[in-house]
A and B are shown apart, each in its own frame.
Chain A
Amino acid sequence: GDSVTQMEGPVTLSEEAFLTINCTYTATGYPSLFWYVQYPGEGLQLLLKATKADDKGSNKGFEATYRKETTSFHLEKGSVQVSDSAVYFCALTHRGTDKLIFGTGTRLQVFP
């Protein structure tokens, strides 16, 4: 079945450091790919998405590129802030299914 694999956390960085959170997927066909973020005590918020190969999703300085050849959707940010500390979830869904399949989440901790 379809699945999403994320790097284990926590990822600990100093403010203004470069961030990469790896995400790879296993799926038939051409899924849509997403990054969601969960701040402490809150629900998940859609951060960015890409619906076809080579698409780049971006939002709030974060970006991720849909790489079909490597089945990856790595999340990057050039300069993290303390306020970016949260759990980040990679997810996929197939057109018409509406069922989001999540990775296990990666906790990011940013220190001043």
Chain B
Amino acid sequence: DTAVSQTPKYLVTQMGNDKSIKCEQNLGHDTMYWYKQDSKKFLKIMFSYNNKELIINETVPNRFSPKSPDKAHLNLHINSLELGDSAVYFCASSRGEGGYTFGSGTRLTVV
């Protein structure tokens, strides 16, 4: 059983399109996150949700909108995609204090 699963694994799309990435965790964790990893492997937090409530929003453009229908799911919707959005997006969950479990990532390529 995959603890944190993301779909799709790869996403290629044109500029201006809207796309969503889905994430589900079966660990019973209360907190979920989205991280962005750029081409130089740098990882930066985008959002965190605790039990469906937004906790962290790291000055991400409002084209990015997370949605948490329940504490096991955190989806990321991106409007009007731009070339600079190309990256690997990681979902993660935790019970607290940095002990994260990461998904395997979604590689987004905007052309």
Binding site for B on A (CB under 8 A): 32, 34, 36, 38, 41-46, 49, 51, 87, 89, 91-93, 95, 98-102, 104-105, 107
Contact = CB atoms under 8 A, between A and B. Distances in A.
A87 B56 CA distance: 26
22 contacts: A32-B97, A32-B98, A34-B98, A36-B102, A42-B104, A43-B4, A43-B90, A46-B99, A46-B100, A87-B41, A93-B97, A95-B97, A98-B55, A98-B56, A98-B96, A99-B45, A100-B45, A100-B100, A102-B42, A102-B44, A105-B41, A107-B41
A43 B97 contact: no
A105 B42 contact: yes
B43 A98 contact: no
Interface size class of B (residues with CB under 8 A): 20 to 34
Contacts, number: 60
A42 B31 CA distance: 21
A99 B42 contact: no
Contacts of B98: 32, 34, 49, 91-93, 98, 100
Interface in B61-111: 90, 92, 94, 96-105
Nearest to B6: A43
B25 to A, nearest CB: 12
